[in-house]
Structure 1
Amino acid sequence: MASSQWSRATSLLNAMLEADPADPEAWLDDRCGEDAALRVEVWSLWRAYEEGPLSGDMRGADWLGASGAVPASVTDAPASVFESGARIGAYRVTGEIGVGGMSVVYRAERDDGNYDQTVAIKLLQRRLHADDADARFRAERQVLASLDHPNIARLLDGGVTEGGRPYLVMEHVDGLPITQYAEAHALDLDARLDLLLQVADAVQGAHGSLVVHRDLKPSNVLVTETEAGPQVKLLDFGIAKLLDDSLPVTRPVTRTGHHLMTPSYAAPEQIRRAEVTVATDVYQLGVLAYELLTGGRPFDMQDKRLTEVERLVVETDPARPSRAATSEAVPPRALKGDLDTILLQALRKAPGRRYRSVEALAADLRRHRRREPIHARTATLGYRTRKFVQRHRWGLATTVGGVLLMAAALVAVLHERNQAQQEARKAEQVSAFLVDLFEAADPNESQGDTLTARTLLQRGRDRVSALDDEPAVQAEMMHVLGQTHRRLARYEAADTLLRGALDLRSSIHGDAHPATLESLSALALLRRDRGDYPAADTLLRNVIRVRRALRGETDSSVVRALMHRGFVQRRRDDLPGAEKSLREALDAKRARADAPDLLTAELLFNQAAVLREQDRHAAALPLQRRSLDLVRQRTDGPHPGVEANLGNLALLRSEQSDYAAADSLYRAAIEQATALYGPEHPQGALWTGNLGTVHLEQFQYAPADSLFRRALAIDRAVYEMPHPRAALHLDNLADTHSEAGRYAIADSTYRAALRMMGQVYAPLHPRVANTLRDHGQLLMRAGRIDSAAATLERSVAMYRETRPEDHPELETARLRLATAQLRRGRLSAADSIAHAVLGRSTAGDSSHVRIGQSLHVRGTVARRRGQLPRADSLYSAARQAYRAAGPGAHWWTAVVQMRRAQGQKARGDYATAELLLVRAHDRLCRERGTPDHYTKQARRALASLYGAWRPAENADRYRRSQGALDCPSSPL
């Protein structure tokens, strides 16, 4: 191959890897045009990159060079070579340190006369192409340069060469990789742990600045000799993020690409191309610790193909370190127990089940060294006793008699465990003990071990009846058990227990006692979870009133009750009421001047949800992220707050048409919910259904259908029917059938959803209006125009009773009614509706589509009236509005092309009409698929065109347009 052709192929491959297109073949077709040889070459390189062997660290990090498909004559030479004496910025190259897949590293001396300094210069292989890439590169470089930690090699300077290649100037570190250093000096376990703790402190320090490393491995962790002893220096901190070419660098949640990881050290989420967070560094530090302490890595990646690597990292559990140990300096027995547990906790597949931070991992390592109980293990009495004896073995050895020794240990352990309860009354001690016993059944505590949870719950219910002579303790136990049943979605049992607790507490303490109000609040949350929002609202109003009278406006119990009521009001579509309740709760919380805590996170979560439903996404997103960060900082392992925030972040991303991010976030939320509650819980069903909407928005009807059915099956098994959530899943299923062209089953499913909604919602409710709106569109597509118009008129009337006049959902219903009026030939009515919607719309991301649809309808009215120049002008404006909307709305431009083609056909310009229709058909095929309503409409429009335009000459095209509705790359 000629060098120019090879340069084009590699350049195109780089662009393809950066774009990561959903349809690589179509992407290549668009860019290669008629150059078949170029397309074949790039395709072969891409397939080699995707499927080639990944052996060792270098291949995993390679951007291009080691894919195995590149000629040796090309890959043997670095992309840019600087000989000794050459200058890069203010530095003179003195030699080459090494060559990697993404960079060449040189040793250099400062050469501007200001001062002497030896540095390492990393010259990146990738060029900067975008107009603002240089500025963005410098901005990210500045953030990384601000990292100030004695164990992080400083980023000193950087810039861009004349050829467009960015370079980084870093502190020169003359050291050995951590594993080599440990073996060369035969370090014992304590010395290796010292090094690990230095690494952890450095990583945690960077996380405090919201910078994630995401490529921790021995070659990036060097050890140097100093007067104070061995010192760790981390290299390339944050460089992978900088190479990912996305801003801002400080955002800890990001995406990863094929080339920004090393398979031997990659976390499961990197292999799956999911989100990268601080949990990724926890995992990689676990791999590093595993190798440092055992002498081997958790998995053998040598000569493994990509599919084998994925299976190992994502599905296979590593061997216990004590069984895998091969290092003579660290015997297996030294790793058995706590160190096994610590390393395996860091290496959990699910990010949420690892240590919540590197700091938490380091804290457990320090506890192990002090012979204290580690947090990764359950603090059983026997375990705590053994740890106490290990810490005090010499002092206890002098105690006379084994019995006295054990008694002393037990007294000390019980003192540690029960210090906060020493002054409590006997009945309260018994109650606290029982609560502690049964907390293991709570999904928040058991981390998803629902078998154990249910066993303990049944044991607890059996023992409640034995507490008749201690009603206060019995009520406490019934309350705890009821709450736990509620969280496990066992609502019947929860209802019985919580009612029993409320009755007992009311009879013992009266209706205004804090314990009684606690049970009343729990019962309100149960009503909320079961979808009985009016009953929940009534109970919460009572709780708020009494608690305010007893404890004042700013008590935390009042804040929490206001927050719960805001949630219920939002679910009742009372957004002004929800906003008011949450504002009162936030004002009360601020008046307390408390430090941010989990209650703060919950308040921010609910505030973000209200903003999202008000279509204020830009304001909602930072609140949602802040809520998630607060929960993660204060919890470890799976947690309902993490799960809920992930789900709502996914919802925000979906509504912004960022479907890749939404998909990943929903899957993370489902993973959290499954770990907490098990696979058959309504929380998992909620996110499963929402994941279905992500597929539906991308016109992926088969997976959407499967996900909606899965969510519906779970809810039907858990809830009493009818239920609002089941009705919502039915509505989503009907939408899927409608979009896929299955009109009869869609009609039946919409009617089933409406019947259920009639049983669970008030007669006038926006969710019912939404389903009527979608049903009306289906009837229109099925050709039942008068029924469609009547249904859409009902939808508009219901929305007007429950929504503001300019609400987006109401405006969408009006535009569908305008389309129905068009189909009925009522042009003035259609034009009047569209004109009114357009007058209420303002420029902004959320209204661009409505503006486009309004112009679209008005253009069609003009075309039907024979006003073809006016129609062209309106269609052109509609296309501009659709283009200004998010990527998820760009397919609408193809529908406008179809309408423009009808105008050209009316003019007799059949050739232009054909060109517009073929392009529209191609785009709709690619983006919406074969079964889609608009794709079929384009095919029918082509058939009509060929039937009217020289029928004899176009007979073959006419037959093909009438054939099976396929979407080949060249359709007609």
Structure 2
Amino acid sequence: MTNLYRYRFGSVVFDQGSFELSVDGGAVEIQRKPLQVLNLLLQNAGKAVPREEFIREVWRGQPTVDNVLANAIAKLRNAIGPAHAQHIESIPRVGYRLSVAIERTAISGSDAGMPKFRPGDHVPQREHFRLERRFGASEANDVWLARHIKTGEERVFKFASAEQHMSSLKREVTLARLLRNALGDRPDFVRIIDWNFSEPPYFVESEYGGVNLAEWAGADGRLAALALQDRLALFLQIAQAVASAHSLAVLHKDLKPTNVLVEPAGAGWQCRLVDFGSGRLLDMARLGVLGITPLGLTVVNGIAFDAARGTLLYTAPELLADEPATVRSDIYALGVLLYQIVVGDLQRGLAVGWERDIDDELLRADIARATDGDPVRRFGSASELAEALAALPKRHEARRAAMAEARQRQIEGEQLLALRRRRPWLYAVIGVLLAGLLTALELYAQLRTAREQTAHELATKSALNKFLIDDFIEAANPALAGRRDVTVAEAARTAAGKVDGTLVQTSPEVRAGIHAALHGVFNKLSDFPSALAEGRKAVAEWARSTAPDVEQRGFVMLTDVYLLAVSGHLDEAEKLLADAEALLKPLKPVPPELQAELLFQHGSIHVERRQFEDAFRDYAQAWAIARQPGFADPVIAGHVEGALSNMNTMLGHHAQAEQLARDLMERQVAIWGADHVRTCFTAFILANTLGYQNRADEGLALADKSIACLTARLGAQSTGVADARVTRATLLAQARRYREAAVAFGEVADLYGAVLGPNSEGRINAIANQAAALRNAGQLTAADVVFGAGLKLGADALGQDHPTMQALKFGAARTRLDMGRTAGVAVLLQGLDADALNESEQAPDWPARLALQRGRLALLSGDRARAAELLGTARALEAGRNDAADAIREIDDWLVKAGAAPRLAAAVGTRS
């Protein structure tokens, strides 16, 4: 018998036997790799575990992605909670250490083993049934066909000999009851009749549903002999059964031929889905509604979870990387099974070159989409896959029509080439304009989804081609512009002025499409006034149209909500948001992408109004929508997840913020690559939250890469680059490199001034941060000058009560007191509010900070009694915090100068 252990520290318990983690008495959902990391830390408690040892022991020397250990540590810290996460110490350039006393209790690690069943044995506790044939056996289960002695009725019994192997049986019973109660008796699921969980051998008893698909297919080459149409019909039964389970939030997690049974049905065959022992339930509320006890399911935050993984051949790549199972991991298994059924060979794996086995191009594309390595690119649901297969004949017809259209586009391309030959100057400017043209086309391509090809769409494409050739590119003609280095922005502005005149004979929706494309161009160029102007024109054209594109009109309006909000026009942004909601309300239902975008823009306005808790709520609701199976737009999902990560950072939830940002980056790298604009934006979001975890060096490396990437793709003068530079400057300050931070914030202030205007909030914030960095660097005179400039600028642009103005006043007062000056300090401190200051910089001790500066002012003004009173208040406020040692030392130094330390010591305690 092998001894395993149950470890405990605080309220955290880890059981090696079941490999399960619980905190505060409740089971915690966490992937296996972070648990293996915890196991290694517990076995070496108090010792430093080198990074190399983690990689060798947990990942067998082959990490799946960069930062794989840091990701696992972040997930582990998040799972055990902030009170316990502090015990996992990062040791720079070495690894990690668990620095906490642990309790260790030995537990039994082995079982008595499965009874040795033989054909002819009576079924334990079911004496009227005798075992007839073994279907299969494993370390955990033994599956037999049994027959009633008198009636000859067949049953299937699945046995487990030990409690630690019983969870899969309980899970199978629970999920089978849910499917039957919700869907009724159906021929595509096997009915569970009874179970025994009271004494060993434990078992589940079910009806006999036929032979498994692998056995059925091999009988006389039955599957290979079927026509392709009949094979697809067989697969559709399986896919539709999976879709029905998914509709109840039930994942199978072990789809394979041996878990599909086949039985004769009339002139054909009936497939049945069996063995939900590895399954997962995503919505526990369904059990409560049906009055079902959740046997065998670990319940965490409303999610039923288990760590079981399916058969390797059918296991999606993300599961091998210890990501949680989703609808799309079941779809991957269906895709592999579809390939095998189509080729008529259930032994064949989906190896390199599999495409050569499939003659049908559309079928080949369906299998490729179902088994894509990136789950985001797979079918959004099993029903979508089934519908695609059922519609194959119609899709073949549509493909023939598309090929005819492609030929027409080729002819148009040849005409464009001839035009270029007549304009040799194009070769000189095409390098300058190429990136901008791609930017323009990218958004426009997104404006029209894969809908029926109508005459309207052909007219739109033709108008777009004409506009790009005759107006956009022509704007860069050296003969007209007078020079060869015309920028994309200049060409776009020139072309924008010609839209309504050039396209006056086209329909309103065509003009709306062109204005929407330009709206996207100017947005990406950070020319917000031009973007807003084009957005308004697009919306106005759609309003005139007899067939307006309501969804795209809504997207443009919502983008303009964001542009107005970040430009400081909050009242106008809120009105436009209300207009967008009214426009979209009649849609039945509102597409989930628009629902998420609406919530995202509500959050954007709350952020600009410094209502961070409200913004967090909006972003969390938007993310709940965006992470659902079938959500079609990874760009919107990325915006939402990035915003939620940022808001977690603002509210001090740093582990959650880091995990969201890392997960988002991994998906973006897989979809668009490491150097895509979206990935680079997420890099500085991640860098920002690392800085707040005292990991500024890691953050700076990410921020530098982000800045280089965004500069190359957006140009040096863009809000994206400015935002990334803010993050870098903040990281320098967090690393106490204050002189460098002051220079960096000064550059950011200049950049925001150029992009958003000299009176923009972004510029004033940067000036405030520059002044604070100068003060921390000891350059008090320079800091005082910069604080003064920020106060003068902010008084007109922001108003005296704005959080940034409050921060400027506090910083200016503190700097003058550092210089030993009292002139004007009382005015600066008057009216400062801890809540408003907290909106500018999240900190728990603003009341104490204010009392400290007021006490310093009283001391420098000669009022020692008042100084002692205020400094004593500051110390008492700081004494209630765990991380206030430095602040208390500073206050005590001032108390000594005020001659009040002995008296105060008796009242509030001496410093430690």
Task: Write the mapping of 1:18-29 to structure 2, written as runs, cut at 5 A.
Answer: none
Return the match for 2:303 from 217, 226, 249. Answer: 249
Which one-letter code corresponds to 2:301 in the other structure?
Answer: L
Are the counterparts in 2 of residues 435 and 477 from structure 1 also a CA contact under 8 Å?
no
Is structure 2 residue 556 aligned with structure 1 residue 524? no
Aligned to 2:396: 373
Aligned to 1:875: 878
Aligned to 2:280: 239
Aligned to 2:321: 272
Task: Say which SS state the counterpart of residue 509 (structure 1) adopts.
Answer: coil
Residue 175 of structure 1 and its aligned partner are, at CA, apart by 5.6
Is structure 2 residue 713 aligned with structure 1 residue 752? no
Aligned to 1:921: none
CA gap 1:246/1:498 in 2 versus in 1, 3 angstroms: farther
Are the counterparts in 2 of residues 856 and 878 from structure 1 also a CA contact under 8 Å?
no
Aligned counterparts of 2:3 and 2:892: Cα–Cα separation in 1: 45
Return the match for 1:854 from 841, 847, 850. Answer: 847
Aligned to 1:477: 465
Aligned counterparts of 2:248 and 2:634: Cα–Cα separation in 1: 24
Query: Mind listing any 5+ residue stretches in structure 1 that lack a counterpart?
Result: 55-70, 110-115, 129-133, 251-255, 300-317, 324-331, 386-413, 419-428, 439-450, 462-469, 880-891, 918-972
CA gap 1:478/1:609 in 2 versus in 1, 3 angstroms: farther
Which one-letter code corresponds to 1:348 in the other structure?
Answer: D
Aligned counterparts of 1:718 and 1:847: Cα–Cα separation in 2: 31
Task: Say which SS state the counterpart of residue 568 (structure 2) adopts.
Answer: coil
Are the counterparts in 1 of residues 509 and 541 from structure 2 also a CA contact under 8 Å?
no
Aligned to 1:321: 354
Is structure 2 residue 759 aligned with structure 1 residue 771? no
Task: Say which SS state the counterpart of residue 690 (structure 1) adopts.
Answer: helix
Residue 763 of structure 1 and its aligned partner are, at CA, apart by 2.3
Task: Write the mapping of 1:918-929 to structure 2, written as runs, cut at 5 A.
Answer: none
Residue 583 of structure 1 and its aligned partner are, at CA, apart by 0.8
Return the match for 2:376 from 352, 355, 361. Answer: 352
Which one-letter code corresponds to 1:207 in the other structure?
Answer: H
Aligned to 2:239: 200
Task: Write the mapping of 1:32-71 to structure 2, written as runs, cut at 5 A.
Answer: 51=60
Task: Say which SS state the counterpart of residue 699 (structure 1) adopts.
Answer: coil
CA gap 1:45/1:153 in 2 versus in 1, 3 angstroms: farther
Give me the TM-score of the superposition, normalised by structure 2.
0.63
Aligned to 1:761: 756
Please list the CA deviations of residues 648-687 of structure 1 after superposition, one character each: whole Å capped at 9, or x if unmatched. Answer: 4544555565666655654665577667766654334323
Aligned counterparts of 1:102 and 1:218: Cα–Cα separation in 2: 20
Residue 506 of structure 1 and its aligned partner are, at CA, apart by 0.8
Please list the CA deviations of residues 745-782 of structure 1 after superposition, one character each: whole Å capped at 9, or x if unmatched. Answer: 33322222222222222222222233234334433432
Please list the CA deviations of residues 241-294 of structure 1 after superposition, one character each: whole Å capped at 9, or x if unmatched. Answer: 6856433338xxxxx997656554432333334565432222232234445554
Are the counterparts in 2 of residues 822 and 861 from structure 1 also a CA contact under 8 Å?
no
CA RMSD of aligned residues (A): 6.5
Query: Mind listing any 5+ residue stretches in structure 2 that lack a counterpart?
Result: 23-27, 64-105, 117-121, 148-153, 285-296, 417-430, 442-457, 474-484, 860-866
Residue 194 of structure 1 and its aligned partner are, at CA, apart by 3.9
Please list the CA deviations of residues 776-806 of structure 1 after superposition, one character each: whole Å capped at 9, or x if unmatched. Answer: 4433432334544664566577666666877
Task: Say which SS state the counterpart of residue 183 (structure 2) adopts.
Answer: coil
Are the counterparts in 2 of residues 624 and 648 from structure 1 also a CA contact under 8 Å?
no
Aligned counterparts of 1:156 and 1:822: Cα–Cα separation in 2: 81
Task: Say which SS state the counterpart of residue 188 (structure 1) adopts.
Answer: helix
Are the counterparts in 1 of residues 213 and 257 from structure 2 also a CA contact under 8 Å?
yes
CA gap 1:276/1:14 in 2 versus in 1, 3 angstroms: closer
Please list the CA deviations of residues 464-520 of structure 1 after superposition, one character each: whole Å capped at 9, or x if unmatched. Answer: xxxxxx9998743144789999xxxx9945863785476265145279955445434
Task: Write the mapping of 1:96-107 to structure 2, written as runs, cut at 5 A.
Answer: none
Are the counterparts in 2 of residues 98 and 106 from structure 1 also a CA contact under 8 Å?
yes
Task: Say which SS state the counterpart of residue 564 (structure 2) adopts.
Answer: helix
Which one-letter code corresponds to 1:206 in the other structure?
Answer: A
Task: Say which SS state the counterpart of residue 583 (structure 2) adopts.
Answer: helix
Matched residue count: 754
Task: Say which SS state the counterpart of residue 498 (structure 2) adopts.
Answer: helix
Please list the CA deviations of residues 343-373 of structure 1 after superposition, one character each: whole Å capped at 9, or x if unmatched. Answer: 22222222222223322322333345x5853
Residue 569 of structure 1 and its aligned partner are, at CA, apart by 0.5
Please list the CA deviations of residues 827-851 of structure 1 after superposition, one character each: whole Å capped at 9, or x if unmatched. Answer: 9979995995346699xxx999544
How many percent identity over aligned positions? Answer: 19
Which one-letter code corresponds to 1:232 in the other structure?
Answer: R
Aligned to 1:11: 15
Residue 726 of structure 1 and its aligned partner are, at CA, apart by 1.8
Are the counterparts in 1 of residues 255 and 314 from structure 2 also a CA contact under 8 Å?
yes
Task: Write the mapping of 1:200-599 to structure 2, written as runs, cut at 5 A.
Answer: 200-218=239-257, 220-223=259-262, 229-234=269-274, 235-236=276-277, 238-239=279-280, 245-249=299-303, 260=309, 263-274=312-323, 276-290=325-339, 293=343, 294-296=345-347, 298=349, 318-321=351-354, 332=357, 337-368=361-392, 370=393, 372-373=395-396, 379=399, 475-479=463-467, 492=487, 496=491, 499-500=494-495, 503=498, 505-507=500-502, 509=504, 515-541=510-536, 544=539, 559=554, 561-591=556-586, 596=591
CA gap 1:761/1:201 in 2 versus in 1, 3 angstroms: same
Aligned counterparts of 2:145 and 2:459: Cα–Cα separation in 1: 77
Return the match for 1:737 from 707, 714, 732. Answer: 732
Which one-letter code corresponds to 2:739 in the other structure?
Answer: A
Please list the CA deviations of residues 536-565 of structure 1 after superposition, one character each: whole Å capped at 9, or x if unmatched. Answer: 334444555676577799977764553342
Which one-letter code corresponds to 1:344 in the other structure?
Answer: A
Aligned counterparts of 2:472 and 2:263: Cα–Cα separation in 1: 53
CA gap 1:430/1:245 in 2 versus in 1, 3 angstroms: same
Are the counterparts in 1 of residues 519 and 534 from structure 2 also a CA contact under 8 Å?
yes
Return the match for 1:619 from 614, 617, 620. Answer: 617
Aligned counterparts of 2:46 and 2:189: Cα–Cα separation in 1: 48
Task: Say which SS state the counterpart of residue 15 (structure 2) adopts.
Answer: helix
Aligned counterparts of 1:108 and 1:834: Cα–Cα separation in 2: 87
Residue 735 of structure 1 and its aligned partner are, at CA, apart by 1.8
Give me the TM-score of the superposition, normalised by structure 1.
0.60
Aligned counterparts of 2:180 and 2:801: Cα–Cα separation in 1: 49
Aligned counterparts of 1:730 and 1:209: Cα–Cα separation in 2: 47
Aligned counterparts of 1:175 and 1:26: Cα–Cα separation in 2: 44
Which piece of structure 1 moves more, 785-794 or 696-705?
A: 785-794
